């Protein structure tokens, strides 16, 4: 990563254009794939959130844990 990053409430973004870059969790970070120069072909999704809003013509992510809303630590979905 290079360049300046601003962070507010665990959400990091470009201070020049406002594009969201990543989101910090207590035990990790979510990186928005559209911010990467090259696709990370060697990794697979582990979690699919907001599955309730998935378009009916899209298949579920194979092997991923599904959550209808936001994933939360307690094991319940937050919607």
| Pair 52, 21 in one domain | no
The model carries a pTM of 0.50
Is the domain of 1 the same as that of 33?
A: yes
Judgement on whether residues 17 and 33 belong to the same structural domain of the protein: yes
Is residue 78 scored above 80 in pLDDT? no
pLDDT score recorded for residue 74:
44
Residue 48 and residue 22 share a domain: no
Instruction: Report the C-alpha gap between 68 and 72 in whole angstroms.
Output: 11
| Distance (Å, whole) CA 30 – CA 33 | 9
Does the pLDDT value for residue 17 go beyond 80?
Answer: yes
Total number of domains constituting the chain? 2
Residue 32 has pLDDT above 70, yes or no: yes
CA atoms of 77 and 18, how far apart (whole Å): 29
Check whether residue 31 and residue 50 sit in a common domain. no
Determine the 3-state secondary structure of 72 from DSSP.
Answer: coil
pLDDT for 58: 92
Range of the domain at 3: 1-37
């Amino acid at each position: 990563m290079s360049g300046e990053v601003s962070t507010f409430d665990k959400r990091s973004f470009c201070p020049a254009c406002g594009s969201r870059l990543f989101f910090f969790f207590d035990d990790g970070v979510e990186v928005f794939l559209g911010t990467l120069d090259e696709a990370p072909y060697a990794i697979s999704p582990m979690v699919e959130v907001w599955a309730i809003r998935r378009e009916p013509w899209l298949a579920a992510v194979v092997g991923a844990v599904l959550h209808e809303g936001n994933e939360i630590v307690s094991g319940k979905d937050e919607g």
